[in-house]
Amino acid sequence: MSFIKSLIPQKYHADRKVFRSIYSIIIVDLILLFVSLSFVPVFLFIDFIEGAYIMFYSSLAALGYFLVLNFNKNLTTSGNYFVLQILIICLSMMYFTGGISSPYLFWLFCICPVSFLFFKEKIALFWAGTILVSFIVLATAQIFGYPFEQQLTPLVLNITWTISFIFGVLIFVSTFRNFQIGLSKVNQQLKKTNSELKNSNQELERFAYIASHDLKSPLRSVISFITLFNKRYKNQIDEEGQEFLDIISTNADQMQHLIEDILEYSKSKNRVLKKEKVDLNKVLKQIVSHIDSKDFYLDGKVQVSPLPEIESDFTIFKQLFQNLIDNGLKYNHGHHKLVSVQYLEKETELYFMIKDNGIGMEEAYFKKIFEMFQRLHTKNEYQGTGIGLAVCKKIVQNQGGKIWVTSKLNEGSIFHITFPKSILWSEKSKEQIKDKNLLGVEI
C-alpha cells in the first residue's frame, strides 16, 4: 500500500478526491500490467501472435501511465492519462484484429457513454472525439486498401462478436439504469433537502416572531422609564448625564423600530389575508393625510392618479404603499420632494409606478435593497432598519405579483409593481364573498 502511495506525487495527497481517484486507477493498472505481462508468454506458446502483441502493448500503456504519473509534475487529473492508456490498448487491439471490421470497434463505442458517467465531461468529450477520429482514420485506410489482416478464425470472430454484442447491450442497459437510479436518488435528496430547508425556514421565522414579540414589552417599559426619569430628574443631572441619557433613549427607540419591523416581516408571510373590497384610492388618501400630519414632511408632496378597486387586504396594501412613499420622501434632499403614484391597467396585469425625485441609487443595488437588513446608508445619514422593502417584496409576492426598481443616482427612483389581473374587484368577487358569508366563513 505504501508503494502505491509513493507513486502518487506528494502534492495530491492533501486532496482526498484526487488522491483516491489516482489510487484506484493505479490498482487497476497494476492488475492490468500483471495480467497482460503473464498472458504474453501464454499467447506466444499457443501461437496466438496477435494476442501476444495486444497484451504487450497493453502492458506498455500501463507502464507509460506510471511513468507519466511520476514525471509529470503538472498533472491535475489522472483521468486524462487513463483514457489515453485505454485508447492505446483498444487501438492496438483493432490494428491486429481487422482494422475497421474489428469486433473490438464496437467496444470503443460502448465505452463512450460509460466514460460520460465516470469521468469529467471534458475527458469524456476528448475520449469520444478521439474514437471518432480513429474510426475515420481506420475507415479511410480500409477504403484506400490498407491491408488490415483479419487474423481471427471465423469461429473465434463469431464468438467475440456475440460476446461484444451482449456486453455492449448490458453496458447500455446498465448505464441507462444507473442514470435513472442516480436521477431518482438526486430527486429524492432534493425533495428531502427542500423540506428540511422549508422546516428550518419556518422555525427561523417563528423564532424571529417570538423573539421580537417577547422583546417588545420589556423594551416598552425601558422607554417609558427613560421618559419618566427624564421628566422627574432632568434638573438634578449634569450635562454629561443628560447626554448619556439621550444616547440611551435614541438607541432604545432604534431598537423598538427594529423589533417592530422584524415583527412586521415575520407576520407578512404567514398573515391570513382578508378577502375584501379594497379601494386603493381610499388607501392612498389615508397615507397622504398621515404624511400631511407629520411636520418633517412639510416640503413633501404626493400625487396620486386614479387607482382601481381590488379584492385583497386593506392593511397590507396600506403598508406596501406607505413604505414606498415614505422612502421616496425620506431618501430625498430636494426642496420640493415629490412622490407620484401612477396606475395602468394592462392586458394581463395591473401596473403601479411609485416615482420620486430623491437621491436615487446605482444599478448595482437594484436587487440588493429588497433583501433583509440591506441598507445603502448609515443610521446617522437616514434612520431605518433595512426591512421595509423586504416586507414590500413579501407582500407583492404573496399576491402573485412582482416588484423591482429602476433609478438614477441624484435623479430619483421608480418602484414598479405588477399584480395579476385576477385581483381586480369584480361582480364575481362580490358573489363569492357573499357565498362565503352565507356559509358562515369569516372573511
Question: Which residues contribute to the site for ligand ADP (CB under 6 A)?
Answer: 323, 327-328, 331, 356, 358-361, 369, 374-377, 384-390, 413
Minimum CB separation from ligand ADP for residue 395, in Å? 12
Minimum CB separation from ligand ADP for residue 371, in Å? 9
DSSP state of 424: B
424 and 417 Cβ atoms separated by less than 8 Å: no
Question: Among residues 79 and 360, whose Cβ is nearest to ligand ADP?
Answer: 360
Question: Among residues 62 and 329, whose Cβ is nearest to ligand ADP?
Answer: 329
CA dihedral 135→137→139→143, nearest 10 degrees, is 180
DSSP characters over 112-127:
HHHHHHHS-HHHHHHH
Query: What burial letters (b/e) apply to 230-264, b meaning 16+ CB within 10 Å?
Result: eeeeeeeeeeeeeeebeeebeebeeebebbebbbb
**Residues sharing a CB contact under 8 Å with residue 237, sequence separation 6 or more, in sequence order:** 245
Minimum CB separation from ligand ADP for residue 294, in Å? 16
Question: Among residues 94 and 392, whose Cβ is nearest to ligand ADP?
Answer: 392
Question: Among residues 407 and 418, whose Cβ is nearest to ligand ADP?
Answer: 407
DSSP state of 249: H
Minimum CB separation from ligand ADP for residue 124, in Å? 47
Minimum CB separation from ligand ADP for residue 369, in Å? 4
Q: Distance between CA atoms of 175 and 181, rounded to whole angstroms?
A: 10
C-alpha cell at 193: 433537502
Question: Among residues 185 and 294, whose Cβ is nearest to ligand ADP?
Answer: 294
12 and 24 Cβ atoms separated by less than 8 Å: no
Minimum CB separation from ligand ADP for residue 441, in Å? 35
Question: Among residues 98 and 384, whose Cβ is nearest to ligand ADP?
Answer: 384
